[in-house]
Structure 1
Amino acid sequence: MKVDYLVVGAGAVGLAFVDTLIAEDPDATVLIVDRHAAPGGHWNDAYPFVRLHQPSAFYGVESMELGQDRIDESGPNAGFYELASAPEILAYFERCMAKLVGSGRVQYAPLSEYRGDGKYVGLFSGEEQQVEVTRKVVDTTYFKTSVPATHTPKFEIAEGTLFMPPGELPCMIRGDCAIPSHFVILGGGKTAMDTGVWLLTQGVAPERITWVCPRDSWLINRRFTQPGLDFFEGTIDFQAALMRAAIEADDVDHFFLELEKGGQMLRIDRDVLPTKYFFATLSEGEVETLRQIGNVVRAGHVTHIAPGRFETVEGSFDVPEDSLFIDCTASAVADKETVPVFQEGLVTVQALFAPLVVFGAALTAWLEVHRDDDATRNALAQPIAVRQGPAAYLTATLGNVMNRMRWMREPDLAAWLAKSRLDPMSRTIAEVQRTRPELLNTLNDYRDLAKRGMPELMQLIQKSRES
């Protein structure tokens, strides 16, 4: 087999890259190799009640809309753009793959593992295939997303303990399985939050839930992450709030507290200062729902679970004997350092505008086609390190602004961004310029504020590194 590009991974990142690549380069040929039996990456293993953090309107691939571009009318997301569910996303990626393969320039090898040097092996057949790659291997597995279904717990589980990942919760009604009197949610991340909201919306009384939350998180208010003209002023206000917070803040905690004053950041318990941040986005309705859970154990990570009891690094706690422990401790993405996106014979797709990784994948493909050498491409594709913690958000914010400034200085790139489905900012600004020019004053105010805020943001980052 001979192809121009061998793409490792058929998840959202891989499909977004290939979709843009073949749209921009009419001659490129591609082979996609993936371990799963169907496209969609970690979505194949996700719990069934999971939904996107971000609106469906700017997720997926450039050439195909996800969802119906509608506003939810009920539930905790009411008033905001729809969030696709896991089944919707998997069906969407099936259609995407069918379209790519239908182009005649893309081949797909599911249930296969890439072994390097142009070799991959069929996981069922055991047969090894050798591929001649004429241009580059594209690694879309940099993030190695971990989900509960494929995660190995780091704590001991005593024999006889009722234990499952969240994805199995809806299956409890099958067979003769008794519904437990109590639920123990293990973990403090977005999966744990989704699980808490799901249990409560299924009618589980708050007193029947114990939440073992090692660290509280700062949360982005979904109100300020919406696309479209109706939300334009709020979106720009979020960006302006980041600059105002940088100007006012003395340290990282103060930065987040300033954002909380304006409603851009939320926390579940107003009496606990969060020490975690990783772009989790919730609506105010979801936060209010989670505040119903009164039994929250903040005693570090769990080390051992057993019928009627669990232990953490700080103590031992009793729960009802038939309690079901729900493992939400998988870390979606581990902290990672960046590497050059473009290297000789290799593209390593990373975040170019955090947290919109899929947008970054499409942009990476555009740069591969429209810039002539890797040095030029890398100058426009400065990856943003994926790290957890409040201080990392300041670095990501700085990286986002700097990258955006680089892109706007390239006329052909700016023109592509203005039409990009996956870049809500540029597309919305272009629409404002066409139809609502009076709103541009909001954007001009932000630019003036950014001139003052950027140096202050850099100083805050430096101070956090020294402390």
Structure 2
Amino acid sequence: MSDALPTVDYLVIGAGAVGMAFVDTLIAEDPDATVLIVDRHDVPGGHWNDAYPFVRLHQPSAFYGVEGLELGRGEIDRSGPNEGYYELAGCAEVLAYYERAMRKFIESGRVTFWPMTDYRGGGRCVGILSGEQRMVEAIKRVVDTTYFDTQVPATHTPRFEIEPGTRFMPTGELPNLVRDPDAVPSHFVVLGGGKTAMDTAGWLLGHDVAPERITWVRPRDSWMINRRFTQPGLEFFEGTIDFQSALMRAAIAADNVEGFFLELGKGGHMLRLDPDVQPTKFFFATISEGEVEALRAIDHVIRGSRVSRIAPGLIEMEDGSHAVPDDSLFIDCTASAVADKDSVPVFQDGKIVVQALFAPLVVFGAALTAWIEVHRDNDDARNALAQPIAVKQGCAAYLTATLGNLTNRMRWAREPNLAEWLGQSRLDPAARTIAKVQAERPELLGALGDYRTLAKQGVPALMQLIQNARED
């Protein structure tokens, strides 16, 4: 390990997407700040180091990463299921991007990176391989970027029993089948109903695995955001505003949470895999209509309770069992991306706990947290602007997050210097696009005016739906 640093202004726990976004904005806004970043991985990128190799961003590269370094080329895909929409960076591209960002940090002379290091609290940093312990004092803050506790299949323990002899692997190991083509099974069983499972099923189909060779164990179906309405660029501005208007229209028209999502589904703003099944799950997954259409080819779907045990040729669930071919390969996609947690104050005495300030854009929230840290003088003022949004699974939680997003936007709009920064932020898909429309295409602002009119009725309706859901 490198020479010890007795003091730094900020000690940042984690060199993942959240930590990198925070540090980038911090050193840009405070030219004197010194930072130590510690991470258990060998290279920056956090959970991307453990992710399955064929994973891609759900939303455009244009607003992911750090403020000071563009991710991707700003191009629209011309083929594949994302055709017609802005590019989505894959795992290898994201990791290379964070390597470049870290080099930029270190070259500033104000950032030190200690990889393969575990932070044990109280300024104690321990080398994972060496066992060497070093003490570092954070003069201003310890910045905890681990709140989200992101899990991927490679790093979590399945909650079901796996009988000896069962062919089983986390989804990230699928490409390793190339090493032994004779070991390719006759049948694949995808375990899980989230975006990882969707990516895995899509990957199998994309490699010409016939749909009848796939069984999908999907205990609960999910609502998903239509990626068509989450695009940057002026050509998509009216669609983006239409999505926000649709949220208000749905709140006004619906009597309950289920009705809210059904209203969004009618306009294609929310998508579901099976049009005949009412989803009961939502966790900000974003998908294209092309992906949904491809996944609908898999018609052997097992719903109901969770898996309790798997064995060669057998899936046992809490409400019954199901037979599959004896050589089936079970693919684990059951990791929960983010643990459900209640929010805590972001700015605390000697500490910052980075959380979502605009769900689900956690890297934007991290950058904004750093900006607030530099530009506000006390924690009361900082926390007034950094009201965290608990990113939780479930349909009702989305309504709460939507209201939180709207409320935070109103707070930020009342702060001139913050509003100016947001208008230039590459990680904020809304404010920068609106600023560009005002400068280049003011005739498009009519859609924004219509949304604001709807919001006067929609926000109270949304609040009432949330209250009703809590009482239920």
Indicate conservation of the 8 Å contact 1:341/1:381, yes or no.
yes
- Tell me if 1:143 matches 2:148: yes
Q: Which residue, out of 414, 429, 433, partners 1:424?
A: 429
Aligned letter for 1:27? D
1:252-285 deviation digits (Å, cap 9, x = unpaired): 0000000011110000001110000000000000
State the partner residue of 2:451: 446
- Pairwise mapping of residues 370-449 of structure 1 onto structure 2 (< 5 A)? 370-449=375-454
State the partner residue of 1:11: 16
Superposition deviation, residue 306 in structure 1: 0.6
Q: Which residue, out of 158, 176, 189, partners 1:153?
A: 158
Q: Which residue, out of 234, 259, 262, partners 2:264?
A: 259
- Tell me if 1:326 matches 2:341: no
Q: Which runs of 5+ in 2 are unaligned?
A: 1-5
Q: Which residue, out of 109, 112, 117, partners 1:107?
A: 112
Partner of 2:392: helix, strand, or coil?
coil
State the partner residue of 1:2: 7
CA distance, structure 2, for counterparts of residue 79 and residue 21 of structure 1: 35
- Pairwise mapping of residues 314-353 of structure 1 onto structure 2 (< 5 A)? 314-353=319-358
Return closer, same or farther for 1:281/1:344 CA change in 2, 3 Å cut-off.
same
- Tell me if 1:162 matches 2:167: yes
Superposition deviation, residue 87 in structure 1: 0.2
State the partner residue of 1:228: 233
State the partner residue of 2:79: 74
CA distance, structure 2, for counterparts of residue 167 and residue 133 of structure 1: 37
Indicate conservation of the 8 Å contact 1:352/1:382, yes or no.
yes
State the partner residue of 2:366: 361
CA distance, structure 2, for counterparts of residue 176 and residue 251 of structure 1: 51
1:368-402 deviation digits (Å, cap 9, x = unpaired): 00000000000000000121100000000000000
Q: Which residue, out of 291, 294, 298, partners 1:293?
A: 298
CA distance, structure 2, for counterparts of residue 369 and residue 209 of structure 1: 52
- Pairwise mapping of residues 167-316 of structure 1 onto structure 2 (< 5 A)? 167-175=172-180, 177-316=182-321
State the partner residue of 2:132: 127
- Tell me if 1:51 matches 2:56: yes
1:180-208 deviation digits (Å, cap 9, x = unpaired): 00000001000000000000010000000
Indicate conservation of the 8 Å contact 1:113/1:123, yes or no.
yes
Indicate conservation of the 8 Å contact 2:19/2:366, yes or no.
yes
Aligned letter for 2:24? D
Aligned letter for 2:407? M
- Tell me if 1:98 matches 2:110: no
Partner of 1:424: helix, strand, or coil?
coil
CA distance, structure 1, for counterparts of residue 31 and residue 414 of structure 2: 26
Indicate conservation of the 8 Å contact 1:55/1:81, yes or no.
yes
Indicate conservation of the 8 Å contact 2:315/2:322, yes or no.
yes
Superposition deviation, residue 40 in structure 1: 0.1
Indicate conservation of the 8 Å contact 2:45/2:98, yes or no.
yes
The number of residue pairs the alignment matches comes to 467
1:135-168 deviation digits (Å, cap 9, x = unpaired): 0000000001000001101111011110001111
CA distance, structure 1, for counterparts of residue 189 and residue 180 of structure 2: 22
Indicate conservation of the 8 Å contact 1:186/1:192, yes or no.
yes
CA distance, structure 2, for counterparts of residue 73 and residue 176 of structure 1: 31
Indicate conservation of the 8 Å contact 1:137/1:345, yes or no.
yes
Superposition deviation, residue 175 in structure 1: 3.5
Superposition deviation, residue 176 in structure 1: 5.8
CA distance, structure 2, for counterparts of residue 86 and residue 313 of structure 1: 35
Partner of 2:371: helix, strand, or coil?
helix
Superposition deviation, residue 446 in structure 1: 0.5
Superposition deviation, residue 177 in structure 1: 4.7
TM-score by length of 2: 0.98
State the partner residue of 2:3: none
CA distance, structure 1, for counterparts of residue 158 and residue 457 of structure 2: 46
Indicate conservation of the 8 Å contact 1:299/1:315, yes or no.
no
Q: Which consecutive aligned stretches of 4+ in structure 1 deviate over 3 angstroms post-superposition?
A: none
Indicate conservation of the 8 Å contact 2:360/2:391, yes or no.
no
Aligned letter for 1:275? T
CA distance, structure 2, for counterparts of residue 425 and residue 377 of structure 1: 22
